[in-house]
Amino acid sequence: MADTPLIELIGIEKHFGSVIALAGVSLSVLPGECHCLLGDNGAGKSTFIKVMSGVHQPTRGEIRVNGREVGFSSPRDAMNMGIATVYQDLAMIPLMSVTRNFWMGREPTKRFGPLKFFDFEKANAVTMSEMRRMGIQLREPDQAVGTLSGGERQTVAIARAVYFGAKVLILDEPTSALGVRQTSNVLATIDRVRKGGVGIVFITHNVRHAMAVGDRFTVLNRGKTLGTAKRGEISTEELQDMMAGGAELAALEGSLGGTV
């Protein structure tokens, strides 16, 4: 992995009026690294990824891409710099084909005289090839996205982002609604993408899923970073304790006489 982070966020604060959603969060992502951002509901994960992807502008703090300070005024700005986000809802239309979903808004065209048409031949070939590269064998490119499993739909969204130039891929709880087998497929896809040099930000509240693919782990709690650890420096149990507020639970358990 190279020394210069693909993206680095330093001391990020985000205020909504008097509410402080983020209070000085820092995180960096190296090429080919899977950096897991963990935290319970309300920890600030969603706000942080919205700052990282250009949806929100930080109140304070600095964002650097390839070592250069930048500002994202919109998600398109972030995407133009290679920062892509795959949200939980995946932004897909179930009744449309995999090809149509893969190319949505970026359709390849070919000309017949003055007219332009959707180049189905190219679109279908690329879609099938990219999905095979991600380990998914489609029956046909016209297959409706709604017929795919949740894990396969995640893979379509990831393949789409990588094909269109993502250098940093932000994955928002990609395994939260999946069964064991589908989760395993998505984690394998993350590993495959990372080996191609793409930096991954894996947002999750599932410690075991994070430990399966993560290189570094940052824990958020109430808008603050509790710390970052490398693989091998922290156990699953320690990570779980940090996430769940282990010290607070221990104190509560003591005050209730060990009944928690």
Q: Which domains does the chain have, with CATH numbers?
A: 7-91+169-255 (3.40.50.300)
Beta bridge partners of 38: 204, 219
How far apart CA 156 and CA 230 sit, in angstroms, is 29
Q: How many other β-carbons are positioned within 10 Å of the β-carbon of residue 195?
A: 9
pLDDT at 87: 87
CB-based contact 109:116 (threshold 8 Å): yes
pLDDT at 226: 87
Radius of gyration of the chain (CA): 20
Mean pLDDT by 10 residues, the chain (260 residues): 85 94 94 93 89 94 94 92 88 90 91 89 94 90 91 92 95 89 92 94 92 94 89 89 63 56
pLDDT at 123: 95
DSSP string, the chain: --SS-SEEEEEEEEEETTEEEEEEEEEEE-TT-EEEEE--TTSSHHHHHHHHTTSS--SEEEEEETTEEE--SSHHHHHHTTEEEE-TTTT--TTSBHHHHHHTT---EEEETTEEEE-HHHHHHHHHHHHHHTT---S-TT-BGGGS-HHHHHHHHHHHHHHTT-SEEEEESTTTT--HHHHHHHHHHHHHHHHTT-EEEEEES-HHHHHHH-SEEEEEETTEEEEEEETTSS-HHHHHHHHHTHHHHHHHHHHTTS--
